[in-house]
Structure 1
Amino acid sequence: MRLDRKALSPPLRPANLLSARQLAFAWSLMGLIALIAWVLVADQARAMGVEPGTMGMGIPLFLLLWLIMMIAMMFPSVAPVAITWARAIGRQSAGAVRAARTTQFVAGYLLAWTVFGLIAYGLLAATGAVVDDHPGAGRWIGAGAFLIAGLYQFSPLKNLCLRHCRSPMGQLVRYAGFRPVVRDLRVGAHHGAYCVGCCWGLMVVLIPLGVMNVLAMAAVAVVIFVEKLWRLGPVFSAAIGIAFFVLAVLAPFQPWLLPGLAPPQSPMPMSSVLRP
């Protein structure tokens, strides 16, 4: 009995081609959103400069800028998870519903980072007040920030969260069985919480380096991306921890390592905080 090879090969359906186009579109969209966020952050950084503390911003303005920063820094590394979830949604939902559900996932993810943004605001306000009253304390605050970040790179919680961020499919499959009410928002917030757990130590170094230091933000974003997506990410994470220990030793004697804790040279008018 002769077998027809054509009968054994699955036909190339238009739906498969559409899926490939949708996947390319999703990657392009995530990249475009991150790029726009980087442009906005760079523009604001030029207007605000690098100073200690919250630079005169209230909580609403700070959180708005913080979310733009998180979109710029985190979207490249979270894109594989978001797109994987969107593809899973695509098997069950029409285009408009899929877009709405994916938006819920992203909103949940950003919600987790917004909560951490409130903590970051408190830390910046506290360190800014200390530096204003005692300028010499900045070098020890900087050394402490690098030390904390370095120690966290080797902590069990960091390793747990990094494992989840590198292989999140187990959690995504578990959430697929949950009731559909705000499920996508919960999935995004849950993954975002793991992401915060993985990356908060890296964000702490922005206190000495400058929360509006674009080069520092870009470096942290690259570290996050490599940690999560490179096959040697855990080894790379340990190397970054060692680098932070070195910076902690150098910080008290090298003020140029602490631009985010240097007292401002002249006050900046609040009218220039946000450009129209």
Structure 2
Amino acid sequence: MHAFFRYSLAVLSLGTLGAAPNGIFIEGGYQQGKAQVRMQKGGNEVTTTTPLRGFGLQIGYQAYPIKYIGFKVYGFFDYAHTDGIEFPNPNANSVSSPVSCTGLPTGVPGIQVPPGVPPGLPVPPAIPPVIKPQCKINVMGILQQIAGSKKPVQPNMLTYGGGGDIVINIINSQVMALGVFGGVQLAGNSWILATPDFKDVTLTYAGLDKQATAFQLLLNVGGRLRLLKHSSIEAGIKFPMFKNNPFLQSKNDGTLYIRRMYSWYINYAFTF
């Protein structure tokens, strides 16, 4: 009788540990990846990459309608900082100056007496010709000029939004579960340049369009290990799908793109 009681108690305890982990969860962890800076002018491009390091946070709800298949819906926030940008292209130093204008006068014409005016009479003031210079703003030149200074260009990335994943468990026991997941994330993606600060660049170079924030769609895939009931470890990789969101854009002479190429991450998750 005592042996049967102990056996029943042990089974009940394991059943409690292995109960379906439905509920609210919170998770976070380390992220690392790569960012790309691409300057495009006509058919010419200068491209460089830099490491991307930071962290990610999620909070949401997970449920397992059946034993081996579940889903997660959540909000998330990613932050990452890049190293100083270096230009491996040996021709990068030949980028033209940020602003170039044509049609400017080369000198000031002298005052001449109009024909028919008697000598000694006041000469009417000459009407200066209307000057309409044509100026181009070269974003490649702007970034190259800054990158050539002593302060490196170090973009900070903020990505925030919501997502959903499907989880498929290959192993699902009372003590642990091992599976894979995949899904998509809809997000806003913002870039902030720490050094130098671009907050006044649109005033310095008239006609330059700054778009620090853009919509992004991310593919999220990885593996998941659940230990007991509440704790899980996730390892995955994110791939942003939109590649051509401009950061700086001139109406007539060049566009600067900054994007995250990918990020891998490892998170700890706790389910309440």
Alignment TM-score, normalising by the size of structure 1 = 0.23
Greater percentage in strand = 2
Higher RCO (CA-CA < 8 Å; seq separation 6+): 1
Greater percentage in helix = 1
Alignment TM-score, normalising by the size of structure 2 = 0.23
> Quick check: which has more Rg, 1 or 2?
2
